[in-house]
Structure 1
Amino acid sequence: MEGQEETKLELFLQWLQANMVELRGCSIKYCGPNKGFGIFSSDDVVEGILLVVPLDLAITPMRVLQDPSLGPKCRAMFEEGEVDDRFLMILLLTVERLRKNSSWKPYLDMLPTTFGNPLWFTADELQELKGTTLYRATELQKKKLQLVYDDKVKNLVKELLLLDGDSESEVQFEDFLWANSIFWTRALNIPFSRAYVFPQMPEEQENCCSSETQVQEKAEKSCGVSGVQNKTGEDTSPSTQGETVWVEGLVPGIDFCNHDLKAAATWEVDVTGLVTGVPSSMYLLSADQIPYQIEKEIFISYGNKGNEELLYLYGFVINNNPDDFLMVHYPVEAFQNVPFTETKAQLLETQMAEMRCLLPRSLLDRGFFSTLPLQDEASDKCQSGWDCTYSWSGQRKKPSYLNKLVFPEEFLAALRTIAMQEEELLHVSALLEELGCGEERQPSAAEVQAAVWEACGDSGALQLLVDLFHMKMMELEEGSGTEDCDTELLEKAHVMEMPEEYVRDTESRDGGQLMSRNRWSSIVYRRGQKQLTRLFLREAENALQLCLSEQS
């Protein structure tokens, strides 16, 4: 380890000790420029508890609102709805990074200064993502962050630093980008007891309490769909007598655990202190009964995430990721040009149909080309949620391929509706009239789904799906070639932990291609996207062939 990293670590360990953090069965060590610091096992693990952190040390929206310097200004903006709870934490990180005498300095110095997510890519590295979903998403996100910085952050940080007596520090967009990346790569969704989040407060603190109530309301609304996931992938709900409030936050110490598919530890919250002896604390718990090998790195799991999500949020990928997925969507702009747009839009809304879908790799395990055992007939159930009689007139029978169709019904329902011809739309109206649907009784989602399927079957939807996959493959291959081209690049690659401009177009001694970590991650991700597109295209083509043969 370099001397500079040793000094940082020593100061950080002193800071943890001063803040009552207990390293009971682990140590923190430097893992290299790509991974930064990690947590390693030691020989004194007691009851599987590796690390204990008081939640008073966590960076949460409540902490920002209670901060003597930031609090008053942030409360005013928060109550007016100008900023949200995530912005508060990102703002705190931005300000503390620039403060000369920040109490958080030993922690902040340990954090990475650059990241492997596409927001930090060079222009050349970003070109490696062209044709993928991430390419466009990265462009849009960077523009959005730049606007937020220009409109809110720049002057606000200057003002807050001046209130702190600092007129010399200059805030840059990179400071805000850094804080944004720190939050998204390290934040946890933490279950607090309500009594801890909303303690009884004196009357003069009612304004602060009002702001904290808004934090709670937003946290409750975002629970489960917040985008910041529990890194353990486990149910960490504490067993408490009171109500649980989920709040996003950073927990220094715990957040140095790196990710692995096979987690060796999980984190839990100890509200009462009966487990750790430290009330209102978070602790790292060994997931194995078997004693750790000494000095072995301890990993947690960030959950079952595909490379698209891993690269976008955390800045790394997993080669041959079993949890990879493909996003497929029907373009909104194309829908505006289909015949009978308004009528079809109403049918889509009634059916609660989706214009996009996520296709996990695991779906292929039950597809046409799966090598896994067939499902039992008893478990062969319609995936759509509507009555699987399929035809009340008897004109259409249940497809023979149904139990092998891997595509979500909500998406197929949208494609059927989009592909319908005029006579098929009329047929749908007639079928719904038979059921007595009209001005007095609106048809249900199941009734419309069944009517649309009887009127047009699956052939139009499956043909549209095949076309979407062909279009996606063309976009993926346009700038980077085929899946085989990517495989060849990866086989010859020697990954270097340095920026692209220093290693591009350079050969190693054995003839391999020197490649930056960011470029390697991009190729792994896009190759996975091409592979999934090819495999799901094969499923769609086979389903279409069977559908047409049964219709004929």
Structure 2
Amino acid sequence: MGRKSQSKQNPKKNGGKENNKFTQQKRKELAILVDKVLRLTSVFQASPSVAKSWEHHLEIDALIKEITNLEVSQYKSGQSQRQSNIDKYLKWLSENGAQLDGIEIAEFEGYELGLKATKEFKEESLLLTVPVKVMMTEKNAKESELATFINVDPLLQNMPNITLALFLLLEKNNPESFWKPYIDILPEKYSTILYFTAEELAELKPSPVFESSLKLYRSIARQYAYFYNKIYSLDIPVLKQLRDIFTFDNYRWAVSTVMTRQNNIQISDEAVTAFIPLWDMCNHEHGKITTDYNKELNQGECFAVRDFKPGEQIFIFYGARPNADLFLHNGFVYPNNKHDSLSLQLGISSSDPLRETKLSLLNKLGLAGVTHFNLYTGDNPISAELLAFIRIFNMNQEELTKWSEQGLPSDLVSSDATSAEAVGADIDRRAYTYLLTRCKLITASYKKSTDDGDSLHRKNIKLLKECEVQILEGAIKHLEGTLSKLPAVEQKSTK
């Protein structure tokens, strides 16, 4: 069908040139729903309980479903299958100076696309180089037509990751984009929580990642509503271009692309958020950081984290990150993660008669405002902050007074023999027993899944919870061992 002729209605009332795929009535319905999302996500500051957060999420989710149903006819991605775009992508990289001798793009079970060695690489040898020219950075966004919006929008001025997401959407909608070969190789959807159904999110309970997921979803829904209103209210040319592509589905795709692929890189003495083509196709495994930026040659360089033989998948190390972070922002879980941890929410009850004294002592250690403490995997599962908290939490008035009189009660954050002796076996027995009971209760709340599920989302949820239970079980074993080594309680005479 040809494009309909321009209506002669009042441009203010009509909102300018209306997309012919969308009726004015649907646009009005959409605007009402977007305003509801904006209000619902803006007034909500902090929930008194996880249950209230979940109720709030269901309200937001219901509105988003209505929005996506209205938007489905507005814009559909014409992105073709990734596999068919590989040759064009590699040609584009080669033409623009990337070096990847001995490497090809291949599909790996459980990973989708990754990089495969076609020759032998020794540990620390150079794998590939990526010139700054092919990187898509926040600097590119600031030098593009999007700059007129960035200059007036405080959110974009302070959040380069969001700037990069909007720039990606603009470039995706531009058939002449320099980065088209790169954009065409990107996944059409991701395994981040932004793609989870409400039923899948509910399966995360009782993991602390459940509440983190709700917060992230709420934040992205708010950003979508915020930008939607800006796009349709501000008279800035670049925003009119965004109207053709700005939907919730496309925004979560752009945000997920940023979350899973962004890198912070030092270019010309300036740290920038960037997409680094080819580099971002390497999957994660344990090791050390082997990527760097060469200022003299103006290129990113990736070195082998270990020896790789022909036919092997090439991995890099994403950094010391717990599975909660990898799950939330990258959409995967790494089993036997040496850097894994579990967040425990702890605090002093408002009804505790010693609350103010305990908070004052916590404040001396900079912990008064801390509400989440970490349990780690491995031989030393209790973080220094958690140890200090459980000691102070379990003190009586006399003990609190004694420790409050000290300038900086640093022994409270240490588990070495000298500090433990200074703290005293009585306090430590109460503290470790309290944490042991807490860990056992949390572990009991994790129900074993009877349904493995066939979706990647459910497999990741199951794996995440299994890793969290392993951390709890390790902590329980450690606490029981520690308690068994504490001196016996001296029995006071009742005579």
SS at match of 1:114: coil
Aligned to 1:132: 207
Aligned to 1:113: 188
Question: What is the 5 A alignment of 1:205-216?
Answer: none
Aligned to 1:533: 472
Aligned to 2:197: 122
Choose which of 147, 150, 168 in structure 1 pairs with 2:222: 147
- Give the letter for the 2:293 counterpart: V
In structure 2, distance between residues paired with 1:167 and 1:351: 49
Report whether the alignment pairs 1:446 with 2:410.
yes
Aligned to 1:75: 151
Shift in alpha-carbon separation, 1:12–1:81, aligned structure 2, 3 A:
closer
Q: What is the count of residue pairs matched by the alignment? A: 403
- Give the letter for the 2:299 counterpart: S
Report whether the alignment pairs 1:298 with 2:262.
no
In structure 1, distance between residues paired with 2:232 and 2:86: 28
In structure 1, distance between residues paired with 2:236 and 2:180: 16
Report whether the alignment pairs 1:280 with 2:298.
yes
Choose which of 438, 447, 462 in structure 1 pairs with 2:432: 462
- Is contact 2:231-2:242 (8 Å) kept? no
- Is contact 2:284-2:317 (8 Å) kept? yes
- Is contact 2:287-2:317 (8 Å) kept? yes
Aligned to 1:473: 443
- Is contact 1:99-1:166 (8 Å) kept? no
Report whether the alignment pairs 1:256 with 2:269.
no
In structure 2, distance between residues paired with 1:298 and 1:74: 38
Choose which of 327, 342, 347 in structure 1 pairs with 2:343: 327
In angstroms, what is the RMSD of aligned CA positions?
3.4
- Give the letter for the 2:252 counterpart: L
- Give the letter for the 1:466 counterpart: L
In structure 2, distance between residues paired with 1:161 and 1:30: 42
Note the C-alpha offset of 1:88.
Answer: 1.5
In structure 1, distance between residues paired with 2:235 and 2:310: 46
Note the C-alpha offset of 1:58.
Answer: 1.9
Report whether the alignment pairs 1:269 with 2:293.
yes
Deviations 1:356-387 (A, max 9, x none): 432221225xxxxxxxxxxxxxxxxxxxxxxx
Choose which of 387, 397, 414 in structure 2 pairs with 1:422: 397
Report whether the alignment pairs 1:39 with 2:115.
yes
Aligned to 1:185: 260
Report whether the alignment pairs 1:341 with 2:355.
yes
Shift in alpha-carbon separation, 1:192–1:545, aligned structure 2, 3 A:
same
Aligned to 1:373: none
- Is contact 1:70-1:160 (8 Å) kept? no
In structure 1, distance between residues paired with 2:403 and 2:293: 54
- Give the letter for the 1:122 counterpart: T
Shift in alpha-carbon separation, 1:420–1:148, aligned structure 2, 3 A:
same
In structure 1, distance between residues paired with 2:387 and 2:302: 44
Shift in alpha-carbon separation, 1:536–1:28, aligned structure 2, 3 A:
same
Any stretches of 5+ residues in structure 1 without a counterpart?
195-244, 273-278, 365-405, 438-442, 494-503, 505-514
Q: TM-score, normalised by structure 2?
A: 0.71
Note the C-alpha offset of 1:428.
Answer: 4.2
Aligned to 1:238: none
Report whether the alignment pairs 1:407 with 2:382.
yes
Report whether the alignment pairs 1:318 with 2:358.
no
- Is contact 2:322-2:340 (8 Å) kept? yes
SS at match of 2:351: coil
Note the C-alpha offset of 1:536.
Answer: 1.0
In structure 1, distance between residues paired with 2:354 and 2:245: 56
- Give the letter for the 1:460 counterpart: R
Note the C-alpha offset of 1:48.
Answer: 3.9
Note the C-alpha offset of 1:158.
Answer: 8.8
Aligned to 2:457: 518
SS at match of 1:327: strand
Choose which of 358, 375, 382 in structure 1 pairs with 2:374: 358
Report whether the alignment pairs 1:16 with 2:34.
no
Q: What percentage of aligned pairs have identical amino acids?
A: 23
Note the C-alpha offset of 1:107.
Answer: 1.0
Aligned to 1:65: 142
Note the C-alpha offset of 1:44.
Answer: 9.3
Deviations 1:35-87 (A, max 9, x none): 332222234989943322111322222221111x1123213335x88542222
Q: TM-score, normalised by structure 1?
A: 0.65
Aligned to 2:106: 29
